[in-house]
Chain A
């Protein structure tokens, strides 16, 4: 016989891909069929067999080859890395006494600035004429009654300058008053507002933001503050910037504290150097230290701090996943990212929310050798049971090398070539130089971290929805028959849209539309999505390229080919291409064999490398297969 039928199988974190090909004795490859299924179990374990068998059978079916004619199945030595995530806030805002900060009711009433002494609603009839007062109204009073009482007081000559309401009644009361005043509502804990203190209420016109209370000198003017006191209130002014309405109460010792939580430090152990860096200093400094001590050998968190808890949580998770002892888990890469999470203000009276700084960490652990030999044996016997009686399973090569070989089949590529595989858990890069030497690196942080950032920054608390936001462009269902897309275009529908999507921002999937149940505007969600992708993928792409580029010089890389699920994303490839353009690099999504897009690179690489060996051997195929298998076993052991 002259032709040998082979199938290359790539077991990835989420998908298993198979490519069927025939190879003649001269080593010429003709590809016959492909298939793709979901990976069963964790990559590199015997549980993968089910998915492998399914994809092989589908691919054979696609190629029109009977299982009995299949000679060789080639598996890859999976990249032995897994990754974990953690996130921790590093600042918190505490309000002592009762300055209301960040409380931004959606419908304040009236407009302007009112300064006066806070007076309880029930004691309003006792206030003498001429006194400037701010009325404080608890929940139990009806808006008609409130308006009536204020009008009566104003008629008596009381100078009512503003009102603070417990209910969502500001517009209702404002519409019923004879003299317009600024009114703030939805103050959850009216009882916590101190009566008898001097305070100021400011409401801006719709679409505007307040001017006086968000200005430190405005506050100083109203309350007659000296320079030292002005310095103390400046965080208050800063916290109110951009609000449509605000209340500031002058209390003897009231203060807003913008404090940094003692988050603890990270102990970065490198091969030659080590460093200790405080997490509260933020992502930029952490990453600078990581780069300085690289290559990392391990990372520890300071015991008894949030950071310590975060690192040990990651470690624990990875130990469980990989089945290693806790002591054997070594963190080999770390990606820190600055982020903001909405948090309720401690000591606030109206459920105020501020954006607190947080640090997200992705860590990557190198596992001990994978169980691919065991998988190969199990695949072989499972396939034989399915009728492929003469099949031999071979661990045909290391994932990174195979990916480069597959990527080189993309039209228009040449060496030196870098493959960037943007996966779910890690960003992998492999380089093949002009001398055919291959080098690879694995970095923490990829698609899962983007999901986590989107989830936290939008306060979704739903990772599946965050994944949708990441994968799909946005739109807003402006009516039941049209959606305004994020690029401004309009899409019309013949049938009415589901009523759950009406007036909402939706993630537009291939054939589904997922409403995003938050008050965030389309622009904000888009911005969060794009910055999350940039902070993870663009940063990691540059990091990965620096690690594999000859002498760390990006200009000496000719071509970058993007592979993996994220290469199919609608905006990540162009973000990376934009970021790499200044270095004169050709970057783009791979098109393996000119037909397969960014898929099937490793499977194709496996077949190509096998064909090369067949051609080099000029020997009967069966014995070549056995010999290569033995080599594979020797290399793995």
Chain B
């Protein structure tokens, strides 16, 4: 990535999300405040780059991607499972504003998952690319190696307070009455030197 480009991301709503018919798609569900109230993850990764890398990971596997915004919950399992149930392939990804991510499959119990990335401070753009890539491979019926992740015992004490605050802000934006909406990502690149 070149340092001269900085992208911003906004999601344009196109209507109520419906269940996909094509079996070669992965649905990405974003949380109520993702790329909206918040614009970066807990460690400052821009949401624009996070989404771009995940979508790139899916595209590189020649699989179609679709995005939905979930407003009725800020629970990661709900997000990911909603995405999976809307996905034609049954594979969905859920992501919270602070970066915590999950790959889900529609036949699994909600509180289970295919792959869970619970330690948001340790996730890098490369991890997000791999998450997209793995989700797409599951959609194709392949058997990818689970994405390698770091594990840091100190992440919890160090980041728990900030994570709790971010989660509080996120849940403030939950609107129980809303149904998931189909959104399209709009990247606007601006050269900032």
Residues of chain A whose beta carbon lies under 8 Å from any beta carbon of chain B: 107, 140-145, 168-172, 175, 478-481, 496, 499, 502-505, 517, 519
Q: SS class of chain A's interface: helix, strand, loop or mixed? A: loop
Which A residues lie within 8 Å of B90 (CB)? 479
How large, as a class, is the contact surface on chain B? 20 to 34
Contact with A along B46-71 (1 / 0, CB 8 A): 00000000001001111000000000
- Check A170/B142 contact, CB under 8 A, given A141-B2, A496-B109, A502-B114: no
The answer for the CA separation of A170 and B61 in the assembled complex, in Å, is 10
Q: Across the interface, do A107 and B105 meet the contact criterion of CB distance under 8 Å?
A: no
Most buried by B among A140, A481, A502: A502
Q: 16 additional contacts, CB 8 Å, given A145-B5, A496-B108?
A: A107-B61, A140-B1, A141-B1, A142-B1, A142-B2, A145-B1, A168-B60, A169-B60, A171-B59, A171-B62, A172-B60, A479-B90, A479-B107, A499-B114, A502-B138, A505-B143
Q: Across the interface, do B1 and A480 meet the contact criterion of CB distance under 8 Å?
A: no
Residues of chain B whose beta carbon lies under 8 Å from any beta carbon of chain A: 1-2, 5, 56, 59-62, 90, 105, 107-109, 112-114, 129, 133, 138, 141-143, 145
- Check A480/B108 contact, CB under 8 A, given A141-B2, A145-B5, A503-B142: yes
- Check A170/B60 contact, CB under 8 A, given A499-B108, A504-B143: yes
Which A residues lie within 8 Å of B129 (CB)? 168
Q: Across the interface, do A480 and B105 meet the contact criterion of CB distance under 8 Å?
A: yes
Residue of B nearest to A142 (CB): B1
The answer for the CA separation of A169 and B109 in the assembled complex, in Å, is 34
**Minimum-distance CB pairs A-B, first 10:** A480-B107, A142-B1, A504-B143, A171-B60, A503-B143, A145-B2, A172-B60, A172-B56, A499-B114, A107-B60
Which A residues lie within 8 Å of B133 (CB)? 168
- Check A499/B105 contact, CB under 8 A, given A142-B1, A142-B2: yes
| Chain A: minimal CB distance from B143 (Å) | 5
| Chain B: minimal CB distance from A444 (Å) | 36
Q: Across the interface, do A481 and B60 meet the contact criterion of CB distance under 8 Å?
A: no
Q: Across the interface, do A503 and B2 meet the contact criterion of CB distance under 8 Å?
A: no
* 30 interchain pairs, CB-CB under 8 A: A107-B60, A107-B61, A107-B62, A140-B1, A142-B1, A142-B2, A142-B5, A143-B56, A145-B5, A169-B60, A171-B59, A171-B60, A171-B62, A172-B56, A172-B59, A479-B90, A479-B107, A480-B107, A481-B107, A499-B105, A499-B108, A499-B112, A499-B113, A502-B114, A502-B138, A503-B138, A503-B141, A504-B143, A505-B143, A517-B145
From B2, B61, B108, B141, contact of A171 by CB (8 A): B61
Q: Across the interface, do A478 and B141 meet the contact criterion of CB distance under 8 Å?
A: yes
| Chain B: minimal CB distance from A151 (Å) | 15
The answer for the CA separation of A517 and B113 in the assembled complex, in Å, is 18
Which B residues lie within 8 Å of A505 (CB)? 143
| Chain B: minimal CB distance from A458 (Å) | 14
Which A residues lie within 8 Å of B142 (CB)? 503
Q: Across the interface, do B107 and A496 meet the contact criterion of CB distance under 8 Å?
A: yes
Which B residues lie within 8 Å of A145 (CB)? 1-2, 5
| Chain A: minimal CB distance from B46 (Å) | 13
| Chain A: minimal CB distance from B176 (Å) | 28
Which B residues lie within 8 Å of A479 (CB)? 90, 107
Residue of A nearest to B90 (CB): A479
- Check A519/B143 contact, CB under 8 A, given A145-B2, A171-B59, A502-B138: yes
Which B residues lie within 8 Å of A170 (CB)? 60
The answer for the CA separation of A175 and B107 in the assembled complex, in Å, is 32
Residue of B nearest to A495 (CB): B109
Residue of B nearest to A521 (CB): B143
From B5, B59, B108, contact of A175 by CB (8 A): B59
Which B residues lie within 8 Å of A143 (CB)? 56
Most buried by A among B56, B60, B90, B107: B60
Residue of A nearest to B7 (CB): A144
Residue of B nearest to A501 (CB): B143
The answer for the CA separation of A262 and B107 in the assembled complex, in Å, is 55
Which A residues lie within 8 Å of B112 (CB)? 496, 499
| Chain A: minimal CB distance from B25 (Å) | 16
Which B residues lie within 8 Å of A499 (CB)? 105, 108, 112-114
The answer for the CA separation of A54 and B61 in the assembled complex, in Å, is 58
Most buried by B among A140, A143, A170, A503: A503
| Chain B: minimal CB distance from A8 (Å) | 48
| Chain B: minimal CB distance from A457 (Å) | 18
The answer for the CA separation of A479 and B89 in the assembled complex, in Å, is 11
| Chain A: minimal CB distance from B26 (Å) | 14
Which A residues lie within 8 Å of B141 (CB)? 478, 503
Most buried by B among A141, A145, A168: A168
